Chains A and B, each alone.
Chain A
Amino acid sequence: MILDALIILIKLALVLGMIMNLAGLLTWAERKQSALMQDRIGPNRANIFGFTFYGLLHPIADGIKLITKEDFIPARANKAIHSLAPAVAMFPALVTYAVIPFGDILRVGGREINLQVADLSVGIIFIFSIASLAIYGVMLGGWSSHNNYSLLGGLRAAAQMISYEIAMGLSIVGLLMIYGTVELDDLVRQQGYLIGGWLPQWGIVVQPAAFFLFLCAAIAENKRTPFDLPEGESEIIGYFLEYSGMRFGMFFLAEFADIVVASALLTTLFFGGWQIPFLMADGFHLPGGFSLALPHLLVVVLQVAAFGLKVVFFCWFLLLVRWTLPRFRYDQLMRLGWKYLFPLTLANIFITGLIVLALA
């Protein structure tokens, strides 16, 4: 019993550590990557004895700065809600990760450990329900600051997130129809099957349109360029205008944690989660009949590493998108969400339904 609890605690620590560290690293990656994309050098000033570690000390310096900065609350702000909002914004990003499987079942000493913090039967639905709570963080932050710009930013954010949540939710439906499950570990396991004996049955393969729709909606949900109207830090300023110090840092980190979650979701739903093509529980089985037996522990480690790499790739990809595309106008944003993404998702469901019926 105690061992069970301990295992869960370890998994929790692993998952939380992974998200938080990735989010922290992403603050560095964002700056360094944007610099490289724009032919600049990027952060290079923070150093220890002259060693800059490619600017990797900057997130640490930022953390120290944010924590030691004045924690300012506007005089007429609602103190309780103003203090609560960053935590509310951070919460969904951390909790959604609970149901994402980062590896196959690990068998150690006769125990079967599911590499997933919580194997919920509702799976993906849990993720969407929690993700929709993220609106509260930004809304409360914007509203409680007693600042018109914050409030408008919060309203923009709420309108945008609600609009794109629909597209995001519906874009998954086709996938669920094909795999016939909402449990994420099941979903990933099904993606390990091969179509015609050589093509992995990944989400991207069976639902390419859904992938684009989901990607689009996920970026919008993250409130990142080209959908960063709620923030627009350089021009229109957003819901966290009145935040300073680590409270601002929480919003900031929540955004990066959201990137990690979005990457993990993209990986899990469309890129086979922890699956490596042709790697079965006992080793590689290539289409040509060639096979390579591997010990169980190595297979699990490979799978977890594959999952991590895929997540990191998508983090990189999301940053690439953020630093490539210009921002939408608000009417364009709403038009895209309601007039294009929403009908397209419906069409995707309809066509998928027809195909599933035809194949059945």
Chain B
Amino acid sequence: MAMVVKDNNGQGFLEKIYIPEIIRGLLVTSRHFFKNLFNIKQVPTIYYPEERTEVKWGLSPRWRGRHRLTRKDDGMPRCTACMLCATACPSHCIYIEPTESADPAVEKYPAVFMIDELRCVFCGLCVEACPCDAIRMDSGIYSLTEYSRANFLYEKDVLMATERGYKD
């Protein structure tokens, strides 16, 4: 496919001399200015800590929040430590230490499952890669705050204790 180079210098004389176009742009921005000046209420901005998106509008189910690990009925992690999430992860933030499971039906499970949320770019590739539906990003947690960097290493117990964040 040939690349099409679009001339950005404007079409026709009026656009090329800029001034009418600049005035047009100024009209657009000043229209917004006056509209909002006299009716500030209709501005879609949320006063974040006091107002919250999930309360005001509800989060989209497609929103990728903090990870969580799903559990089987017996409470064990669904994760089989296949490392596909760690493989798919572009920011190398997932660390898994697989180990032999006492349960013969399981064989392999993660002894350590750690996500460095500071390195995570929330791309969701781990969720797509998981063959067991063990890792999900539907916790609805978007505000990750800790007092130290070390605390951002989320371990298996924390990830497993997180529940699905919103109802269907």
Contacts and interface: CB of A to CB of B under 8 A. Distances in A.
B30 A320 contact: yes
A324 B33 CA distance: 11
A325 interface: yes
Given A320-B30, A324-B29, A39 B22 contact: no
A36 B25 contact: no
Contact of A324 (B25, B43, B47): B25
B145 interface: no
Contacts of A323: 29
Contacts of A38: 32
Contact of A320 (B26, B37, B47): B26
Contacts of A39: 32, 36, 43-45
Given A212-B19, A320-B30, A320-B33, A41 B45 contact: yes
A318 to B, nearest CB: 11
Interface residues of A, number: 14
A40 B37 CA distance: 11
B36 A321 contact: no
Contacts of A40: 43, 45
Nearest to B27: A324
B40 A41 contact: yes
B22 A33 contact: no
Interface string A33-55: 10011111100100000000000
Contacts of A44: 47
A163 B40 CA distance: 41
Interface in B2-41: 19, 22, 25-26, 28-30, 32-33, 36-37, 40
A320 B37 CA distance: 14
A218 to B, nearest CB: 15
Contacts of A324: 22, 25-26, 28-29
A299 B49 CA distance: 51
**Chain A binding surface SS class:** loop
B43 A37 contact: no
Contact of B22 (A36, A37, A41, A325): A325
B36 to A, nearest CB: 4
A177 B62 CA distance: 67
Contacts of B33: 33, 36-37, 320
A44 to B, nearest CB: 8
B150 to A, nearest CB: 28
A46 to B, nearest CB: 14
A279 to B, nearest CB: 28
A37 B25 contact: no
Interface string A312-336: 0000000011011100000000000
Interface string A109-153: 000000000000000000000000000000000000000000000
A41 B51 CA distance: 14
Interface of A: 33, 36-41, 44, 212, 320-321, 323-325
Please list the 10 inter-chain residue pairs (A to B) with the smallest Cβ-Cβ separation, ordered nearest first: A36-B36, A324-B29, A41-B45, A37-B29, A37-B33, A36-B33, A324-B25, A40-B45, A37-B32, A324-B26
